[in-house]
Amino acid sequence: MFFTHHNSFFLKNRSQMAVVLLLAFALLPSGAPGQAKNPVPEEKVYPLCKAEDFRAMAYSINDVQAREKRALEWLGRYGKDCSYNEIEAIRSNVAVWLGTADTDKVHQTVKELHLNKKPPPSTLEVSKSTTTAPVIAPSGSIDTTATKKVKRLPNKVDEKTAASKEYSLRDSEIAQCLPNEIANWNDGAKDTKMLSPSMVYVYEHQGAPAGVSEDAVFSVLQQAASAWDQCGGQNTVMLKRDLFDAKGIFKIAVQWNDDDKLGTIGLANITKKTLTLSPEAFVNLKKANANRNLMETLQMVVSHEVGHFQGMTSHSRRCVDVLSYYSNDAGEKCFIRDNGVMPKNFEYRSLLPTACDIQRCRMANSN
């Protein structure tokens, strides 16, 4: 949960938070088990890679094995020529479009295509090990065959701030999770294993604050989903209007309203399976500081709340972690490496999960 306090964000946990993850199962375009199978249509040849063509292909085939086979053939033929936006659309919707044909092989194929299409990484990498804390280092300093890329969204700051020791330390903490640095506030239950490796976040834009576009929020959700994929699961995002049939889909509803947030900016309600954002809170933040970048704030909030759906129940005591909050009711403070001091001219918390956030998630899901 996100709270406001002196224009900084403090995250508090609620006892009702338990772990519920989404399960993306069969969503057959037509027909039902036990019915006669329709003939598999002849494969069409497409001039370009379009996500809508992949969806049309998936919806045209009832047989699960045939649908999987055709999906792999389509990805093999067109995947390398897909633009980043097209492969991102496929990655975000493949669980819905293919249903039970979205096998591990299909998932891995889409994931590799997606990673290869991403913009140049931020020169950060994280160890795949789930037993020791990862250390992320500049490209070339570690064996890239044993690592996987981590995406990072830097805060937009001026050149002087970016060159400061405090900002450099922040970058280092985002990139590295040193031994014994994972520490929680012990404000919630023990972290838990995912109930399912597949989660679908269904976004409805109704009620959003003026000036916040649907495309912008959708992009923020996709950034958070993609970043948390590093924990080992599959997080997909889709618009509510594109969800034609929710049968067999275990979804998390992402919504805007001020009915159920207990004074927070955002709330992950595990019981109700909702991620709720407060339009009033965002309006008030903009009033308090007209220069505030609300999209950065939104990214931080969404990344934090999505982390709770990954099984992360307690909050981090490491200030830079996206799952952190800065101080508790007793006046105790979060910590910065090397006894660093909290800067006053920029938000220290990361916009996306840090190396320690990801490592903690992997550890919870490996036990």
Report the mean per-residue pLDDT for the chain.
Answer: 77
Mean pLDDT of the 228-234 span: 91
| pLDDT above 90 coverage of the chain, percent | 41
- Write the CB contacts of 236 (distance below 8 Å, at least 6 apart in sequence): 24, 91, 92, 93, 94, 95, 96, 198, 199, 200, 201, 225
pTM exceeds cut of 0.85: no
Mean pLDDT of the 51-55 span: 87
- State the Cα–Cα distance between residues 18 and 115, nearest whole angstrom: 31
Which residue spans of the chain are classified as CATH 3.40.390.10?
2-23+126-366
Residue 261 pLDDT greater than 70, yes or no: no
pLDDT on residue 123:
30
pLDDT on residue 314:
92
Which residue is listed with tokens 């969204």? 153
pLDDT on residue 100:
79
The domain defined by 2-23+126-366 folds into: Collagenase (Catalytic Domain) (3.40.390)
